[in-house]
Structure 1
Amino acid sequence: MTRLDLGPIGVTLDVRADGGHLADAAMLEGLGYSAIWIAGGQLATLDPLRDVIKATEAIPVGSAIIPAWMHPAEDVVALRRELEATDPGRLITGLGGAHGDRPLRTMNDYLDRLDTADPPVPAGARMLSALGPRMLELSRDRAAGALPLLVTPEFTAQARRILGDKAALAVMEFVVLEKDARLARDTVREPIGFLTRVGGYPQNLRRMGFTDEDIAGPSDRLLDGLVAWGDIDTVAARVRRHLEAGADQVVLVVRPTDPDAVPHAEWRALADALIV
């Protein structure tokens, strides 16, 4: 299987009830981002993936991620069948959410259903939310690659060693363009605090050297280890560390300090700094 060509800089897009995110999607494509990703928490239905593809011209659109426990494989198959007929090659099927006692078995069973569908969702068009070594191996063996969140550049280097040369690696990175340390950390403390209590995140944070106290906070140390915050040069340097460590793409999860704002200015500044 040929390594999926992702392009270096992706970005997440928040779905808005007023539909304004569709104009934002067109703007992001115009700025030169390599892909647009929709977070799993906004995928109560799979419609936003279709809507963003229809609102843009050619940019790939990915799910980050479709929770396996929420959407049956048949729904994923139906969406891909529809979009391949109208917009071939544009949907990246990011999958995850296989929690519980046997997450590997759960994900393998889900992938089996995608493989045996008519038509199938091919391995080269899907990525897995992978943190632990065995899930990274599954991403290598049964998908195009891995889509981890809440990781350090050191994790990125370790993941690349497990994935090898043929699998893709898209690393999701929280970004706050703010030089004030307290404000930057407080901007992401709540969303990261929520994630640190979900699924395999706590275990992986411990593997990366964070303590239970760091995770419970979340502590400033943990936030500084996981988030690109500061001025544009500092953030760009952090993004490049992931790319140098082996990421094919860094997916920018941009969070403005005003929780009600849409980060238009931040998207433009990051595009100017990171997109050649």
Structure 2
Amino acid sequence: MSAAEISLWGGGPWQDPARVAEAGEVAAEVEELGFHRIWFSGGFGDGILPAFGDLLAATRTIGVASGIVSIWTATPDQSAAAFADLEAKHPGRFLLGLGNSHAPAVEGQGGRYEKPFSRTVEYLDALGDRVPRERLVLAALGPKMLDLARERTTGAHPYFVTVEHTVAAREALGTGSWLAPEVAVVLDADPDSARATAREHLATYLALPNYTNNLRRFGWGDEDLLGGGSDRLVDALVAWGPVERVAAGVQRHVDAGADEVALQLLGGRGEFPREGFRELAAALVRGR
């Protein structure tokens, strides 16, 4: 595989306060398997997640990243304080990912989703130099956010994107910025069951305008966005199949300009897919 860091992107069990010991054990194995970083979402502030620090404490060298902390959930002061605490305890290992989330999520919690780009600029201004540029990344999809990621942070962490977006993001960021797309994967060689697993995942995100608007920029139409996605869209957003086919799908993002790929292994049903992690490591990490 071409040179790029291979990381894991996860949710649920990584964040569960009742599964701290298990998460730490899995993280230690993931580190031994050679993955570069563990990504998962989560806010600071009132919803601060100790899981970032718990995983760092359970491991020795692997990175941990927030993908992402919502600028509507945590204040700049809260993000800066949390970063400082993690940096003091685990120097050089935490990457702060920020994003402007989605109107349904913000308004569902009683907030007002107004001028998200301007709000992001104001947030970065308030954050100042308390988080070094090289330790800060934006969840950028559209052209303005990609430009902001290039100008103000180390780069971009796009989520729910196709290879065509990775090509465009690399062009927008230029050669001096870092690009780490999330890529969903399903280790299943049967097209029907693999796509069914993928659609369970895609359906949530196809209800969010930020993602559907981004897909429309690349020519996807309404018929592609219904019912969990057309076969063509599923195949463009999710690398599925036996591990060799999945590896080829990941390689397309690397060839398109990704410096790091954060793999989200689907189908775990709330459990850590440890065997899947081992398969992915054998195909994508070991022997690079």
Instruction: Please give the TM-score of this superposition, normalised by the length of structure 1.
Output: 0.91
Aligned-residue offset at 1:216: 2.5
Aligned-residue offset at 1:98: 4.8
Counterpart in the other structure of 1:166:
176
Distance in 2, matches of 1:121 and 1:199, equals 30
Contact 1:114–1:122 (CA<8 Å) still a contact in 2?
no
Counterpart in the other structure of 1:29:
31
Aligned-residue offset at 1:121: 0.9
| 2:208 matches 1:205 | no
Aligned-residue offset at 1:152: 1.2
Distance in 1, matches of 2:207 and 2:121, equals 24
Distance in 2, matches of 1:261 and 1:53, equals 20
Contact 1:23–1:55 (CA<8 Å) still a contact in 2?
yes
Aligned-residue offset at 1:36: 0.8
Distance in 1, matches of 2:71 and 2:223, equals 30
| 2:58 matches 1:55 | yes
Residue deviations 1:169-222 (CA, integer Å, cap 9, x gap):
001000100011121112121222111222511100111221112213222222
Of 120-129 and 44-53, more deviation after overlay is shown by 44-53
Counterpart in the other structure of 2:107:
none
Instruction: Please give the TM-score of this superposition, normalised by the length of structure 2.
Output: 0.88
Counterpart in the other structure of 1:8:
5
Counterpart in the other structure of 1:67:
70
* Corresponding residue to 1:112 among 111, 125, 131: 125
Amino acid at match of 1:25: A
RMSD: 1.9
Q: What SS does the aligned partner of 1:250 have?
A: strand
Structure 1 unaligned segments of length 5 or more: list them: 1-5
Distance in 2, matches of 1:41 and 1:206, equals 29
Q: What SS does the aligned partner of 2:264 have?
A: strand
Contact 2:182–2:263 (CA<8 Å) still a contact in 1?
yes
* Corresponding residue to 2:251 among 240, 245, 248: 240
Q: What SS does the aligned partner of 2:53 have?
A: helix
Distance in 2, matches of 1:107 and 1:197, equals 23
Q: Would you identify which runs of 4 or more consecutive aligned residues in structure 1 move more than 3 Å?
A: 40-44, 98-101
Distance in 1, matches of 2:44 and 2:199, equals 20
Over 3 Å counting, the alpha-carbon distance change for 1:41 and 1:193 in structure 2 is: farther
Counterpart in the other structure of 1:18:
19
Distance in 2, matches of 1:274 and 1:41, equals 30
Aligned-residue offset at 1:41: 8.1
Structure 2 unaligned segments of length 5 or more: list them: 103-112
Contact 1:13–1:21 (CA<8 Å) still a contact in 2?
no
Distance in 2, matches of 1:216 and 1:96, equals 26
Counterpart in the other structure of 2:152:
142
Counterpart in the other structure of 1:182:
192
Residue deviations 1:3-23 (CA, integer Å, cap 9, x gap):
xxx951010233233221111
Over 3 Å counting, the alpha-carbon distance change for 1:101 and 1:260 in structure 2 is: closer
| 2:273 matches 1:263 | yes
Distance in 1, matches of 2:251 and 2:82, equals 34
Distance in 2, matches of 1:81 and 1:40, equals 17
Over 3 Å counting, the alpha-carbon distance change for 1:187 and 1:25 in structure 2 is: same
| 2:83 matches 1:80 | yes
Contact 1:97–1:199 (CA<8 Å) still a contact in 2?
no
Q: What SS does the aligned partner of 1:95 have?
A: strand
Of 73-82 and 231-240, more deviation after overlay is shown by 73-82
Aligned-residue offset at 1:240: 0.6
Identical columns (%): 40
Distance in 1, matches of 2:203 and 2:187, equals 19
Aligned residues: 267
| 2:260 matches 1:249 | yes
Contact 2:4–2:258 (CA<8 Å) still a contact in 1?
no
Counterpart in the other structure of 2:41:
39
Amino acid at match of 1:36: I
Aligned-residue offset at 1:109: 0.8
Over 3 Å counting, the alpha-carbon distance change for 1:104 and 1:147 in structure 2 is: same
